[in-house]
Chains A and B, each alone.
Chain A
Amino acid sequence: MGSYIPNTETDRSEMLAAMGRKSIDELFANIPENVRIKDLNIPKGMAELDVTRAIASLAGENKIFSVVFRGAGAYKHYIPAAVKRITANETFTTAYTPYQAEISQGILQSIFEYQTMICELTGMDAANASVYDGASAAAEAMNMCRDRGKNNIYVSGTAHPQVIETIRTYCFGYGIPVIMIPKNTDGKTDLTALKNLLADDKAAAGIYIQSPNFFGLVEDIPGASEIAHANGALLATGVNPISLGLLESPGALGADIALGEGQPLGMPLAWGGPYLGFIACKNSLMRKLPGRIVGETTDTKGERAFVLTLQAREQHIRREKASSNICSNEAHCALTAAVYLSVMGEEGFAEAARQCHSKAIYTAKQISAISGYSLVYDGEFFNEFVTQCPDTEKALKVLEKDGILGGYPLGKSQLLWCVTELNTKDEIDRMACILKEATL
């Protein structure tokens, strides 16, 4: 049996003797006899080497694709070596929520710097210190939009399906309706439909539109913002943070809240988690942000200091009236994002975005040139796009044989492709070549 307990038999006897107790069991006297268990029906414990063998063998049962052209909400980007090493520091991994500011200045400052970077990327005034993931960030953001009797939430059908479902789950909790904004034939949000829906709704609270959307297309955020604001509603925009190295920020385009999945900022795919949700907003909404927020202040000597602030929103103070129930968040993931953005730097980050875009355009051209394949939508896209495909199952199978994870199948005849700076021209050409051969 493995164990991390230092107490020896001698220690235990000495400790019990010091307390005037005969056995540890005496300390459990409050537990009624009839509910105590004799024995757990699980295997005996194992030594570290055996555990390593067992878990590594399970890791070995997964197929690692050396080449990935799949995104759909989870993105394989290059993670600089410095990011992995710096964030593995045990002080960062083993600390708790920084309640005691004086001995948590480092973590608090790292969060303050993270908040600044998220504000810079999104063009916003304030950011929280992370929520669970992009989908729950969207759900929390929609809750931020609610205000005095205004409860109706509008969600575009072009958003990520699991984000839509998460918003629905949270709204089921609140007992408020979710109204879907239809998707247009061009693959984007039907803004005319949105205008008509809002015209008759005095209780419209918030609108959620993702851009680039689930199909990779850049949405008309200024147009959506104008319609939202003309009808007294707020606009929350979901973004891929990497796209913000190239595309205009949601803040500059008129969104009130920007949010998204932070995983592309230095976190591995990891079969879905831990991921990172971020939310940033205009000053007017600052006090409605969920979760932790770090603020700058001064200490007794007048020196710069950082603290968890605006805690009157939080569950440990406000209880059932809190803006959210978040306690544990994804602080270490936020740290990772901050280190990633520092290592990439302003120019490196913009270059990563440009390469994602350029390589996606190149890939789209190569795939479209194959018989039976064509781009489904002609709008501008960042690094994801949808193509027709004669037989998605067959196409994915031939790619898999070559260690390539192809696009995400949208039914039997369409694939959603994703390209990042990691995909080389050789890989792209090889992939296109395999697809072409398969159609012959």
Chain B
Amino acid sequence: MKLIFEKSRPGRGCSILPPCDVPEASIPQSLARKKPAGLPCLDENEISRHYSTLAKRSFGVNDGFYPLGSCTMKYNPKVNEELARLPGFTDIHPLQDACTVQGCLRILDLAASYLNEISGMDAMSFQPAAGAHGELTGLLLFKRYHQSRGDSARTKIIIPDSAHGTNPASAAMAGFEVVNIPSGADGCVDLAALKAVLGPDTAGLMLTNPNTVGIFDPNITEITRLVHEAGGLNYYDGANLNAIMGIVRPGDMGFDVVHLNLHKSFSTPHGGGGPGSGAVGCEKNLAPFLPRSGTELEVAGQAQSIGRVRAFNGNFLIVVRAAAYLLTLGKEGIPDVAKNAVLNANYLMEKIRGKFPPAYEGPCMHEFVISVEKLKETHGVSALDIAKALQDRGMHPPTIYFPLIVHEALMVEPTETESKETLDDAARTFLSLFDEAEKHPESLHAAPMNSAIGRPDDVKAARQPVLRFRC
């Protein structure tokens, strides 16, 4: 399809600004732009059609089933979108005096009170703009905490090999050395492996629970106790909170710091990759180290803070959406989400297990991992082939090749907002694909057939990078 630049015609445009109503000023020639920026020149109708076509060549939760494991693609309620567009929020300058932004401050306060209760934490910062940003913030809290006690030997962060890639990357950004520990055969933390690496150099442990294979680690309190005994802190990666919210709290499991992906558990849209919000909660003893906040550029009296991780007050409009969602669900609705997310995941897992056996036995939480390793051996059909073939059947594929510890992995997360009929349809699709894979494996290698493009050449893209159009 043509790029917007290729549709551009000199002389076309939209009429947006009135003529300037003050005398035109000039700037010295030495400072002025010599060559105009090559922006497209199109009328409004052409622009609208261009983006409408781009939308049709994309797939969102609104377009169909989206069981993208570990990403929690639940329905995004319309009312949240309306509320986040109220001028009382959108037209507020981040450096307005505190007495003129009481509504904004109360939104943060409201969201914090709910989220502290759900996570079992004492204090919450909304400055981090995404989950990984929250991880960095949380690990800097660890660093500042150990420093404040004069404990400079704690340089290592322990991370299970099944963790999200953001965990080790965040630990490295916070200046820690990453110690990977292998998971046990059940996908859970191997206690012996954990004990073997704990010591006076342990700064802390990063964990998501339920873990990335979709299982709640039954030894969780033992794990957090061992880390505390060794003098380390426990970090809860909230990516999988959707499975347990209202049932069990990270704070009660022994975690000191959590980040919550408001764009996952609390139904704020992912926007093709963001904006998110990675609110960070912590226990009382770590609260003085949280990022600075305030409606002034420089805020005094927060000397122990790690400092800011971005400017101003975080992705505020995302917090507005989450606040509306929290008010809507409340006391009974929150645990009901977890229960139905877990019910839906187990139901779908059971329906397809005859052909797609789960990588780990026992009930799963809100997501489950299947491996098509055997199908690959017998018929040459890979997880990638299955994913591409699912696209032709109107469904967004699950996450593939994650977690790294499962070969030919597909990670399925239906979420609580899908109906039984959708799950039944999805199960039929999965099972029919299996038959197809056995009978006509070549047709799966050719998939997708009905998408905007066939399979793209990733190697060419990386070896001969073309990252921009030359106007």
Contacts and interface: CB of A to CB of B under 8 A. Distances in A.
B438 interface: no
B313 interface: yes
A62 B101 contact: yes
Interface string B382-407: 00000110010000110100100000
Contacts of A378: none
Nearest to A241: B37
Contacts of B248: 31, 35-37
Contacts of A76: 91, 93
Contact of B271 (A48, A175, A331): A331
A39 B331 contact: yes
Contact of B39 (A65, A319, A341): A341
Nearest to B33: A248
B461 A103 contact: no
Contacts of A314: 165
B87 interface: yes
A112 B470 CA distance: 12
Interface in B328-379: 328-337, 339-340, 342-344, 346-347, 350-351, 362-363, 365
Which of B104, B135, B310: most chain A CB closer than 10 A? B310
B22 A94 contact: no
A289 B271 CA distance: 21
Given A73-B312, A107-B272, A293-B467, 10 more contacts: A59-B88, A91-B63, A100-B391, A101-B453, A104-B59, A105-B58, A105-B451, A268-B91, A294-B467, A328-B274
B317 interface: yes
Given A93-B81, A271-B92, A5 B466 contact: no
A325 B169 contact: yes
B301 to A, nearest CB: 15
Given A46-B330, A135-B310, A62 B169 contact: no
A218 interface: yes
A347 interface: yes
Contacts of B362: 30
Contacts of B71: 96
Contacts of B332: 1, 44-45
A24 B339 contact: yes
A192 interface: no
B124 interface: no
B22 A359 contact: yes
A166 B329 contact: no
Contacts of A218: 31
A354 B96 contact: no
Nearest to A350: B36
A4 B60 contact: no
A292 B58 contact: no
Contact of B351 (A18, A174, A342, A380): A18
A380 B58 contact: no
B76 A94 contact: yes
Contacts of B77: 4
A349 to B, nearest CB: 6
A153 interface: no
Interface string B290-316: 011000011000000011111111111
Given A1-B330, A298-B457, A329 B274 contact: yes
A296 B461 contact: yes
Given A11-B419, A273-B313, A106 B113 contact: no
B216 A354 contact: no
A358 B4 contact: no
Q: What range describes how many residues of B lie at the interface?
A: 35 or more
Given A89-B55, A286-B465, A98 B272 contact: yes
A303 B315 CA distance: 38
A193 interface: no
A98 to B, nearest CB: 6
B412 interface: no
Which of A175, A271, A335, A396: most chain B CB closer than 10 A? A271
A342 B39 contact: yes
A133 interface: yes
B95 to A, nearest CB: 6
Contacts of A3: 328-329, 333, 336
B27 A273 contact: no
Contacts of A90: 60, 62
Q: What range describes how many residues of A lie at the interface?
A: 35 or more
Which of A34, A40, A301, A326: most chain B CB closer than 10 A? A40
Nearest to A333: B275
Interface stretch (B43-51, B194-202, B228-236, B280-288): B43-51
Contacts of B79: 48, 51-52
Contact of A55 (B61, B83, B178): B83
Contact of A346 (B41, B100, B329): B41
Contact of B75 (A4, A15, A99, A252): A4
Contacts of B20: 351, 354-355, 358-359
A177 interface: no
B297 A169 contact: no
Which of A132, A248, A333: most chain B CB closer than 10 A? A132
Nearest to B61: A94
B205 interface: no
Given A172-B306, A328-B130, A7 B340 contact: yes
B328 A40 contact: no
Given A173-B143, A295-B466, A247 B175 contact: no
A58 B106 contact: yes
B302 to A, nearest CB: 11
A102 B453 contact: yes
Contacts of B387: 100
A70 B457 contact: no
A300 interface: yes
A51 B468 contact: no
A317 B165 CA distance: 7
A168 interface: yes
Interface stretch (A156-164, A179-187, A228-236): A156-164
12 contacts: A41-B117, A42-B334, A44-B331, A59-B88, A95-B60, A119-B467, A120-B39, A166-B310, A248-B34, A298-B456, A332-B272, A380-B27
Contacts of A325: 132-133, 135-136, 166, 169-170, 172-173
A165 B335 CA distance: 39
A166 B307 contact: yes
B244 interface: yes
B416 interface: yes
A272 interface: yes
B272 A271 contact: no
B471 A35 contact: no
